[in-house]
């Protein structure tokens, strides 16, 4: 058997996952599981960088996130699923890397600059927040990952990771490969208000939503705003509900909706109801799996613990190489 290429990615546990996370990341990860040696982890220490004042939800979000992952098709048999804080070696490598990372590399990081502006209500002037990409670099290179499947917003972080890996290799001898970002195709999904689906906009449909939640959120969705009355012909090409139909309804229904929207044969209320049914049907197997795991917390804990054990073995080996390279062996 030829060795599969190793990839790694992670998410911060900041809340339940929604359709945007599913189509933007999780579904891609699930698809990659057969082709790659996958490491997927929950970055709970990274969640601290912006919510260090109130840490009360992090643990709950970790448990919810693993449920979302499992229900969306990440498999503990195929992939190594783990939690960052269960593998303390990340912290030791972070320390080594922090010693060799020039501060200006971090200060000019566009994600850093963006977040400082966006989250002006929080005090982000901490050492840990500035060092976020150094911890992320440790997460990635500790497994000698070759690829990092991420969205465009994370590309600067992977770039800094490459620079840090290169600098380490230059100073102490080659230990790390330089990882490539694997851009996940950005399959944009909009919230009911037509803004990007996001927890912070309060416009998201969650994987854990009940059919009732879904129906009520769908009923609020904005349609073709030029279509004031049911008798007015509509334009599905500019309608977010129609985009959802294309994603979740079967092709015959999509054609039917398209035609009847244009000739005012169907009203928006009815059209949304039909879409809600398609969406609920799409989410049903995910919901079922979620319930299955939710009712079995020991099994889920076991998945996290054994995944983290597997990850730790790899991380420990890398740390032995790192300590030898730096000549601080204990």
Q: Does 184 bind ligand TRP (CB under 6 A)?
A: no
Plot region of 173 (φ>0 → left; ψ -120 to 50 → alpha; else → beta): left
CB of 157 to ligand TRP, least distance (A): 6
CB of 140 to ligand TRP, least distance (A): 5
In eight-state DSSP terms, residue 126 is S
- Alpha carbons 6 and 144: distance in angstroms, whole number: 8
Nearer Cβ to ligand TRP (67/140): 140
- Alpha carbons 233 and 268: distance in angstroms, whole number: 11
Q: According to CB under 6 A, which one of 7, 9, 28, 49 is a site residue for ligand TRP?
A: 9
Return the structure tokens found at 7.
Answer: 């990839």
Q: Does 10 bind ligand TRP (CB under 6 A)?
A: yes
Q: Which residues lie below 8 Å from residue 138, measured CB to CB, with a gap of 6+?
A: 90, 91, 93, 94, 97
Four-residue CA torsion sign, 52, 55, 57, 61: positive
Q: Does 44 bind ligand TRP (CB under 6 A)?
A: no
CB of 141 to ligand TRP, least distance (A): 10
Q: According to CB under 6 A, which one of 79, 80, 109, 154 is a site residue for ligand TRP?
A: 154
Q: Does 148 bind ligand TRP (CB under 6 A)?
A: yes
**By CB under 6 A, how many residues form the interface with ligand TRP?**
14
Provide the 3-class DSSP secondary structure of residue 51. helix
CB of 11 to ligand TRP, least distance (A): 6
Mark the segment that binds ligand TRP (CB under 6 A) among 3-11, 49-57, 191-199, 262-270: 3-11
Mark the segment that binds ligand TRP (CB under 6 A) among 132-140, 213-221, 226-234, 319-327: 132-140
Is 214 in contact with 283 (CB distance < 8 Å)?
yes
Plot region of 231 (φ>0 → left; ψ -120 to 50 → alpha; else → beta): alpha
Q: Does 90 bind ligand TRP (CB under 6 A)?
A: no
Nearer Cβ to ligand TRP (134/257): 134
Q: Which among 279, 267, 156, 127 has a CA at the least distance from the CA of 218?
A: 279
Q: Does 43 bind ligand TRP (CB under 6 A)?
A: yes
| Interacting residues with ligand TRP (CB under 6 A) | 8-12, 43, 46, 136, 139-140, 148, 150, 154, 157
């Amino acid at each position: 058997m030829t060795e599969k290429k190793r990839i790694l990615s992670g998410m911060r546990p900041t809340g339940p996952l929604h359709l945007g996370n599913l189509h933007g990341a999780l579904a891609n990860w699930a698809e990659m599981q057969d082709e790659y040696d996958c490491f997927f982890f929950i970055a709970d220490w990274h969640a601290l960088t912006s919510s260090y004042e109130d840490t009360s939800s992090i643990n709950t979000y970790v448990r919810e996130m693993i449920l979302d992952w499992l229900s969306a098709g990440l498999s503990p048999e195929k992939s190594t699923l783990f939690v960052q804080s269960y593998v303390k070696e990340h912290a030791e490598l972070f320390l080594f890397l922090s010693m060799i990372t020039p501060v200006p590399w971090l200060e000019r990081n566009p994600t850093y600059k963006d977040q400082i502006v966006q989250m002006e209500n929080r005090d982000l002037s901490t050492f840990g927040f500035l060092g976020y990409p150094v911890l992320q670099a440790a997460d990635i290179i500790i497994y000698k990952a070759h690829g990092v499947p991420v969205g465009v917003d994370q590309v600067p972080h992977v770039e800094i990771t490459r620079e840090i890996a290169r600098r380490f290799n230059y100073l102490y001898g080659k230990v790390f490969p330089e990882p490539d970002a694997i851009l996940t195709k950005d399959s944009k999904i909009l919230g009911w208000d037509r803004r990007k689906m996001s927890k912070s906009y309060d416009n998201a449909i969650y994987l854990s939503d009940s059919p009732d939640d879904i129906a009520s959120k769908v009923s609020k969705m904005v349609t073709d705003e030029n279509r004031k009355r049911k008798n007015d012909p509509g334009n599905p090409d500019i309608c977010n509900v129609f985009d959802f139909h294309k994603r979740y309804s079967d092709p015959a229904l999509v054609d039917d909706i398209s035609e009847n929207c244009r000739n005012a044969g169907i009203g928006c209320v009815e059209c949304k109801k039909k879409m809600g049914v398609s969406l609920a049907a799409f989410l049903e197997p995910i919901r079922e799996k979620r319930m299955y795991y939710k009712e079995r917390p020991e099994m889920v804990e076991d998945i996290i613990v054994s995944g983290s054990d597997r990850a730790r073995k790899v991380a420990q080996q890398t740390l032995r190489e790192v300590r030898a390279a730096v000549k601080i062996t204990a």
